[in-house]
Amino acid sequence: MLKNARVAIGLLLLFSFTTSSLATTAKVLIYSATADFRHDSIPTAIQALQSQGSSFGIQFENTEDKSQFTDQNLAQYDALLFLDNTGEVLDDGGKTAFQNYLNLGGNFVGIHAASDCLRNTTFYGHEVGAFFDYHPALQNATVDVIDASHPSTSMLPAQWHVQDEMYNFKSDPRAIGATVILSANESSYVDTGTRQDQGTPHPTAWFQERGAGVDGNGTPGRSFYTSLGHLNETWQDDLFLAHVFGGITWALQANTTLAFNSSAQVGNPSSASASNSTSSPSSTSAAPSSSS
């Protein structure tokens, strides 16, 4: 009962904060293409995100078509969400469009196996924060909250008991400027593999205020990544969904896309239209902004 109350309060606070911040609906593209291992929880995850998106002022669209990665198409989204991608899921043209999108202020969210794709693409590795190395067997484990102030962790217990894959990474995301907010408690599960230098404490989820995948002259948006989310059951858990939506809504509040900034170069075009119409100098009275 205490857990349910904590989740309800966390979702209420997150919903209130989000609806008061978003001027209009933000558009997020879920990209779930895979070239190697494929998670059977992908459809469950997409359904969970889309069914709750309107509550947070978010319109989710999804695709596995790499040809959708063009400058013109990506420009309409306030964030790109990579979901459980594995292997080489973009061609060179798609990677260029992705890089251009990030340079123009686009935001990025990566979930679970999103750290296991485009493994030789440097800007992507920087934007997600670190590439996946390996994981021990699926088992019960404890995840420690090391920063409870972030919107993706504020509703979580200090020691979060989960059944999931405890990812290990090829590098330390802190090395490219990420802030780690969740850490796998290595004493709570069995891992007999050889870990690379991924830093201490063990990174499990993190954020970047300024996405490191952006070129030097670009406008960095935000980046959020969580390595959790393997099982179908995980995507049916309210506490996990609160964690994910906390990360997504935080990324959207970068003020670099049209959901918040009418002068931005990418984002939902209708957001810019709505923002301009409510702030028109010809208006004789202040009109309230529409909220989703």
Give the start-end residues of each E strand in 64-176. 79-83, 86-87, 107-111, 116-117, 132-134, 139-145, 159-164, 168-169
- For residue 211, tell me if it sits in a domain: yes
Q: What tokens does 22 get?
A: 């978003």
**Which CATH number belongs to the domain containing residue 90 in this structure?**
3.40.50.880
Domain containing residue 137: 2-269
pLDDT given at position 280: 36
Q: What tokens does 47 get?
A: 């359904």
- For residue 290, tell me if it sits in a domain: no
- The one-digit pLDDT tens for each residue of the chain (292 residues) are 334 434 444 454 454 444 444 447 999 999 999 999 999 999 999 999 999 999 999 999 999 999 999 999 999 999 999 999 999 999 999 999 999 999 999 999 999 999 999 999 999 999 999 999 999 999 999 999 999 999 999 999 999 999 999 999 999 999 999 999 999 999 999 999 999 999 999 999 999 999 999 998 999 999 999 999 999 999 999 999 999 999 999 999 999 999 999 999 999 988 654 444 444 333 322 232 322 2
Q: Burial letters for 187-198: b for 16+ Cβ neighbours within 10 Å, e otherwise?
A: ebbebeeeeeeb
Q: Please tell me what DSSP assigns to residue 66.
A: G
Question: Model confidence over 71-113: pLDDT tens digits?
Answer: 999 999 999 999 999 999 999 999 999 999 999 999 999 999 9
Cα–Cα distance between 48 and 106 in angstroms, integer? 23
As for how many domains the chain has, the answer is 1
- For residue 276, tell me if it sits in a domain: no
pLDDT given at position 272: 53
- For residue 277, tell me if it sits in a domain: no
The dihedral of CA 233, 61, 248, 208: what is its sign? positive
pLDDT given at position 270: 80
- For residue 212, tell me if it sits in a domain: yes
- For residue 236, tell me if it sits in a domain: yes
pLDDT given at position 250: 98
Which residues make beta-bridge pairs with 86?
116
- For residue 153, tell me if it sits in a domain: yes
pLDDT given at position 215: 95
- For residue 113, tell me if it sits in a domain: yes
